[in-house]
Amino acid sequence: MRPMLTTKAIAAGAAVLVATVLASAPGSAERLKNKVAVFAALDKVTARISKLEVPLDQTVQFGALKVTPHSCFTRPPTEAPKTTAFVQVQEIKLDGTEQPIFNGWMFAQSPGLHAVEHPVFDVWLTDCVGAPEVAASASGEQPNGEAPPKKKKRRAKRQ
């Protein structure tokens, strides 16, 4: 005959399991905001790969593509790498007009997932560099550890 588990034994086992999971879970990761996004760009006709270092909110032209990074985040060296950038890419057509072909996030650790694949050119994020500063965490905590300032509620005016 098998001994039956008591409610106290089950509760104690669950408490140990929860404590173990919480102790092993990483804290909120800091994001470091960088000033320069680094891309690799491939010209498929000449098989030339170029390194593009583009300051945020500035545009560089590679062939018929214009690449503009708007933000670039990394993590501290003590954490798992995660490099992301919000990028806009436009194609210059033969008549001189520009057509947006990419507007979104690129991930350096998954270049095939969110890269610009054009019939003649490919562009993907490789790194972020340039005097990183700590950005607010995903929980909204400020770099100095304080909570974000509370927004004032507006009251409706009585008439």
For the segment 80-123, what is each residue's pLDDT rounded down to a tens digit?
Answer: 889 999 999 999 999 999 999 999 999 998 877 778 888 999 99
- Rounded CA separation 118/42 (Å): 10
In a domain, 79, yes or no: yes
Whether the pLDDT of residue 21 is over 50: the answer is: no
Number of separate domains in the chain? 1
Partner residues linked to 88 by β-bridges: 68, 103
CA dihedral (71, 77, 79, 83) in degrees, to 10, reads 30
Is 6 among the domain residues?
no
**2 has a pLDDT exceeding 80:** no
Residue with tokens 């470091």: 32
pTM, two decimals, is 0.65
Q: Is residue 11 part of a domain?
A: no
33 occurs within a structural domain? no
The answer as to whether 111 is a domain residue is yes
Mean pLDDT value of segment 22-28: 45
Q: What is the pLDDT of residues 30-80, one digit of tens each?
A: 888 999 999 999 999 999 999 999 999 999 999 999 999 999 999 988 888
With respect to residue 46, please indicate whether it lies within any of the assigned structural domains.
no
Sequence-ordered list of residues with C-beta below 8 angstroms from that of 80, at least 6 positions apart, any chain: none
- Domain containing residue 69: 51-125
Q: Is residue 114 part of a domain?
A: yes
Helix (H) or strand (E) holding 111: none
First to last CA, the chain: 79
Q: Is residue 64 part of a domain?
A: yes
pLDDT grade, residue 22 (50/70/90)? very low
